[in-house]
Structures are given as structure tokens and as C-alpha cells.
Amino acid sequence: MSINIICCLSNNNAIGYRKELLFEIKEDLKRFQHLTKNQIVVMGRSTFESIIERNNKPLGNGRTNVVLSRDENYTSKYGEYVFNSVDKILKHCKTMGECDKSVWILGGQSVFEAFLPHADNVYLTHVNKYVFDFDAEYPMGLQENLGFIKTEEEEYHSDKYNCSYKFTRYDKPPVAEEIGEENDGGK
Ligand SMILES: NC(=O)c1ccc[n+]([C@@H]2O[C@H](COP(=O)([O-])OP(=O)(O)OC[C@H]3O[C@@H](n4cnc5c(N)ncnc54)[C@H](OP(=O)(O)O)[C@@H]3O)[C@@H](O)[C@H]2O)c1
């Protein structure tokens, strides 16, 4: 079971304002749909509620929606899984009998912060714009401190925003023993 972060952000790491997304790029949405289809998607209560407001339903296409809230009494009329800690979500995802599925962390800010130390891969869409009105940001400093390494980057142009954007992927750095093994020639 891999744990993946997925997020679309501006040059200054802004991701949202007043519960809304900052960018809606068709190709980015397609990439999101493709990567997360039939998988487990984890999100904070605010992100979950903004999805319900926008679509009148949780994310579909075979996705299992999991919501993080500190409110022990929080329930969703859609019957989604609700947990009040990261550990409980991780334990649940490992034991829910869906080990072949991957876990996708959809945000927002505090949820990215909480899951980055547990993440294997990070999929970011960097939109080449500075945004001044925002109230949620991606914790890029934390990602850098954790040593994630960029392994993929593809650049495109958005006519809608008249700017370039990049699909990138970052992987967790190898752990110390793995580096040691490589230096020993795998002996
Ligand atoms: N650009 C992108 O890719 C992207 C992706 C997702 C979201 N967004 C944007 O980000 C904004 C929403 O993000 P946000 O950071 O304000 O809210 P959020 O992370 O979606 O939700 C915050 C809520 O999640 C719960 N939570 C967070 N961390 C927790 C923890 N460690 N343990 C237990 N519960 C926890 C709490 O719920 P309770 O208050 O119920 O306790 C908290 O109030 C919106 O503007 C949205 O559009 C952008």
C-alpha cells in the first residue's frame, strides 16, 4: 500500500481561498481522475465539505472517501469513513482489506502536513502564477526538509490562465540502510 500526496499549487505554494480551489485546469483534473480512480482518498473535513458543496456527492469512480476530523461526533450523511487521527486512518487503510489499493492524500494544508512524513510519493502540479489571495498553502518547506527527490517533470501551457504548469512527481528518499547497501555493492 503506497501513500501519495496530490496537490495543485501556485509559485508561492498557495492552494486555496475561502474553501475554493485556485486553479481548475482540465488536464490536471484528468490526471487527478486517472491517478485516484478506484483508490482510497483521504481529506480534511473542510476539503470534504467543499467537494460535497460543489458536486452534491463525495468523489465517485470507485474511490473510497476517508475524512479526517477532530470532532468525535462528526458524521457524513453519505456514510463516508470518518477518523479523528492520522494513526487511525493509517491503521484502517492497512487493515480494510484493500491492500492492493493506494492511498491518496487530497489536502488541505494541515492534512498535507500530517501525512507528508508518512508519504511515499508526492504528485504536484506547479502552476506558474503568483497568487496573493489565499488562506491555505502547501507545506513545501516540510517536503524539502523530508528530502523528497524530484523524479518526474513535464511542462505544459494553460490557455485558460495564460501560463505554464508542470506535472511533477517526488519520491521519498531511500532510508539509510538502503544507501549503505548500495555503497556495499548490495553485499
Ligand atoms: N490545490 C489543491 O490541490 C487543494 C487540495 C485540497 C484542498 N484545497 C483547498 O484547501 C482549502 C481547505 O484546506 P484547509 O487546510 O483549510 O482544510 P482541510 O485540511 O481540508 O480541513 C481541515 C480540517 O480537517 C481536520 N483535520 C486536519 N488535520 C487533522 C488532524 N491531524 N487530526 C484530526 N483532524 C484533522 C479538522 O477538522 P475538524 O474541524 O472537523 O476537527 C480541520 O479543521 C480549500 O480552499 C480547498 O479548496 C486545495
CA of 154 to the centre of ligand 1 (A): 28
List, as one string, the DSSP characters of 19-85. TEES---HHHHHHHHHHHTTSEEEEEHHHHHHHHHHHSS---TT-EEEEE-S-TT---TT--EEESS
* CA distance linking residue 40 with residue 84, whole number of Å: 17
C-alpha 27, offset from chain centre: 17
Residue with cell 467543499: 50
Give the gyration radius of the chain's Cα atoms: 17
- Residues lining ligand 1, CB < 6 A? 7-9, 15-17, 19-21, 43-47, 50, 68-71, 74, 84-86, 106-111, 114, 136
Top-confidence residue, 80 or 134: 134
Sketch the domain layout of the chain as residue ranges. Answer: 3-183
CA of 107 to the centre of ligand 1 (A): 6
Lowest mean pLDDT among 9-23, 69-83, 147-161: 69-83
* CA distance linking residue 156 with residue 159, whole number of Å: 10
- Identify the CATH class of 3-183: alpha beta
Q: Is the pLDDT of residue 187 over 50?
A: no
CA of 112 to the centre of ligand 1 (A): 8
Q: Phi then psi for 3, rounded to 5 degrees?
A: -115, 125
User: The C-alpha cell of 116 is what?
Assistant: 507528508
Q: Phi then psi for 139, rounded to 5 degrees?
A: -80, 70
Q: Is the pLDDT of residue 169 over 50?
A: yes
Q: Whose CA is nearest to atom 21 of ligand 1?
A: 44
> Percent of the chain having pLDDT more than 70?
91
Contact present, 115 and 42 (Cβ < 8 Å): yes
Amino acid at 186: G
Q: What is the mean pLDDT of residues 83-112?
A: 87
Query: For residue 112, what is the DSSP state?
Result: H
Element (H, E) at 99: none
* CA distance linking residue 83 with residue 68, whole number of Å: 5
* CA distance linking residue 41 with residue 32, whole number of Å: 11
Top-confidence residue, 142 or 79: 142
